[in-house]
A = this chain, B = another copy of it.
Amino acid sequence: MESRSVYKSAGEKEDLTGISHRVSQITVSAIKQMPLLASKVPGCVSLGQGIPSPNTPLFIREAVIKALQDDSAIGKYSLQPGIPKLKDLIAQDLMRTRNIAHVNAETEIFVSCGGMEALAAGIATIIDRGDEVILNSPSYSSHIEQILFAEGVPKFVALAEGEDWTLNPDALRKAITSKTKALILCSPSNPTGAVFTEAQLREVAAIILEHNLFVILDETYDFLVYDNQPYFSLLSIPELKDRVIAACSFSKRYCMTGWRVGYMYASERIIKQVLKVHDAFAICAPTISQFAAAAALSGTNGKDGPGDESVKQLMETMTRRRDLVCSRLDKLSNVFTYAKPRGGYYVFPRYTAKDNIGSMDFALRLLNEAKVITVPGNAFGPTGEGHIRMSFGAEESELTEAFDRIDRWLAENN
Contacts and interface: CB of A to CB of B under 8 A. Distances in A.
A178 to B, nearest CB: 14
A109 interface: no
Contacts of A15: 269
Contacts of A124: 20, 22-23, 149
A77 B257 contact: yes
Contacts of A20: 124-128, 131, 150
A142 B280 CA distance: 6
Assign chain A's interface to a size class. Answer: 35 or more
Contacts of A22: 124, 128
B279 A29 contact: yes
Nearest to A146: B280
Nearest to A261: B286
A197 interface: no
A289 B114 CA distance: 14
A259 B281 contact: no
A14 interface: yes
Contacts of A23: 124-125, 273-274, 276-277
B77 A279 contact: no
Interface in A19-43: 19-23, 26-29, 32, 35-36, 39
A113 to B, nearest CB: 5
B78 A14 contact: no
A51 interface: yes
Nearest to A282: B113
Given A65-B69, A75-B256, A277-B149, A28 B80 contact: yes
A22 to B, nearest CB: 7
A288 interface: yes
A321 B54 CA distance: 46
Among A26, A61, A286, chain B packs the most CB atoms within 10 A around the CB of: A286
A162 interface: no
B275 A28 contact: yes
A277 B24 CA distance: 10
Given A113-B117, A142-B279, 12 more contacts: A15-B269, A19-B273, A22-B124, A23-B273, A32-B279, A51-B76, A54-B72, A113-B282, A114-B282, A116-B280, A124-B149, A260-B260
Shortest 9 CB-CB distances between A and B: which pairs?
A: A258-B287, A56-B75, A55-B72, A32-B80, A260-B286, A120-B281, A76-B258, A20-B128, A286-B286
23 contacts: A14-B272, A15-B269, A16-B273, A18-B126, A19-B126, A20-B125, A22-B128, A23-B277, A26-B277, A55-B72, A74-B258, A75-B256, A75-B258, A75-B259, A78-B258, A113-B281, A116-B282, A120-B281, A121-B281, A142-B279, A261-B286, A286-B288, A288-B289
